[in-house]
Structure 1
Amino acid sequence: MSDMNPLSHRIEKIHGRLSELYRHAIASPSPSPELLPTALIELGIVSEALQLVMNELARQNEKLASMQSNIDSEHQRYQELSELLLDGYIVTDAAFIIEELNSAAAALFNTQPQLLIGKPLPSLIFNEDRAAFQTKLSQIQQRHRVDLTVRFQRYHADFFSASVSVSTTQSFDNKTGFRWILRDVTERKRAESALDCADYDPCQDRPIQFYSKGDIIPLDPSKLWLVSRGVVKLSTMSDRGEEMLMGLVRDSMVFGSSLTALQTYEAIALSKVQLVSISLTEVSQSPRLAQVLLPLITQRLRQTESFLSIYGQLRVEDRLHHLLDLLKREIGQPVENGIRLCVRLTHQDFASACCTTRVTITRLLGKLQQEGNIMFDSHNHLILKH
């Protein structure tokens, strides 16, 4: 618009000259012959100046129209991008009236986006949290960004807990507003509440994964497996390519590749197994969860040491004796005739744990059975007699 200033100044000068001519024409009883030609010249100059102004205005209007089109395109692109967000996204004015929101935000409130446009965002706060939220509003207006957790009321449903990040915005016409990012943390809050219970069970509120007998269980270095039900065999390979039994993980025990430095480490279900996955990141961020898991990890490490101690026995018979005592403690179930191992182990499993051959184990188990120290039930489960 800087081109308009010289034109405006020129028009003002011409207007002054025309006013002067008009005063002379009124004051003089008989206008001079030169007055009319002079007035016509001045009017012609004014006409040219006005034409220039009209041309400049037309150019400026085209420029403004182009800018408005670009703004509309950017706004459309911005709305399309906001729809890609998995979190709820809301825009309010300075009075916290909702102006825009994406579909994820509407889904959090269990309603359609158009039903939320024009509503004050504070009116959607859960009743019991409104007083605390009002105190936060002053901070939101004074700071560039505020993070808080608050409960919102769903339409025709209960409330949800949301982690909210609020930041101030400034529009091209200098109007202040706010952007709100809402992340549903209802499940996280419920899990944190459960962690505070004295009888907290890490298996609760987590998805259970099922594996059948013989399945190889995948190992993720960023996660731990917690056994909810069943028995899992942990093994590695020796330098000679022979399997070595490293542990038997049963109910309420943990395992994972993060708990070992072995390059080869395999987990196989010895029965129908139910497992839950726990992220190591979650453990590091939750002291309470770490406190619950520590005894389980300690138990697992002690069992590993017990298996390693078996290899230190010189005689194969002693290795088998120590192994049977360990199995009795770890996977034994009291029955009428003694202690029954809850899963069936093959002679090769015994051999790998005792660092010997399957033939040797078959011979030694047969000897123990003849001596009446062990027996097998109808399902071929080994029973250690009292």
Structure 2
Amino acid sequence: MNIEKFIQRAEVLHKGLADLYQTANVLPWIPPDLLPQAFKELYNTSKIVQLAAEELYQQNEELVQTRNWLEAQRQHYQDLFEFAPDGYLVTNTEGIIQEANLTAAKLLNVSKHFLVGKPMINFVLLQERQQVHNELMQLYQSDRVKELFVRLQQRYGEFFDAALTVAVVRNHQGKAISLRWMLRNITERQNRESAIVKNDGDFFNDRPIYKHSKGETIPLNPLVICYVCQGLVKLSTYCETGEELLIGLATPGMVFGSSLTSLNIYQATALSDVNLVSIYAAEIAASPNLSHTLLPKINQRLQQTESFLVICGRRHVQERLHDLLQLLKREVGETVPEGTRLSVRFTHEDIASACCTTRVTITRLMGKLQEQGLISFDLKKHIILKDFD
């Protein structure tokens, strides 16, 4: 019933009872002691109904205001979803698209209406679909956000390199109920990075190359930044107990140098045969092009350093080891039939220093991982990660 009509009827009832009371007072056949009490009770009841109606009206007004506010908030976040610069999708646990924003539809060259109800996997390159399926199966077993790098195909269009960030949504019982996807076209970024790598030769081809053998300590000049042309360099320091602490790995295309750190003790060791090029800091300051080329590489080292800091901050050694192996997988991993092989041999001592623990502890944990079939070793004792997530 409409609340205003209800209030009006309550007022009419209240007025009618008052009129009836006045009329009944002049009727001679109604006992005089019965009438006042009956009408008094009816009148009081009517008053209560009227007050209740007024309170109900006030509550209804508040509910209307709340509903309007919620609708405004819903529209606000819907607009953020629709016009976000990245593509967003919501799918059920089977990967069927339930919602999509405008950017996602544009990336896939499909109207939003057509996207709903379609399997997300249909837009993945055929030969990569099994990999995506396996990654999602692993995602359901954890609460981690997964980032996948795959090739997607637009409808009636070309393939493009995409980064997919996927998260599982769970209900109060912990059961997976949907997936949230963020889509980004990284083709341009990869082309830009390839161009930078290509341009590196323009800056470094004419410079002398310094070679260092595996295991050799690389001398550091505070006026020079070293650019890695080939090989892998371990960057480390020493703690108060005299134990070595791994703080970074310089892979090909990365830079390092004592001028990039405030540590009093900073050591660079060749983990393989290494070729380096030296660049004086004064050259960088004098050349905008050289600065532009080196800035992303310095930023890359900074990001890697932060990753090592996060690893050291993990409470449990098992978590530190897990995150370190994931980092090494990204930095120096290469795909082999058995899984992902670390291109450089790391000793248990190296891993222990990065995990802030003892070699004995790492040997025990690595043995458990090997028993579980998560890691193995090749003939050169290089670690191979098998379905390690």
| TM-score normalized with structure 1 length | 0.49
Query: Between Structure 1 and Structure 2, whose CA radius of gyration is higher?
Result: 1
For normalisation by structure 2, the TM-score amounts to 0.48
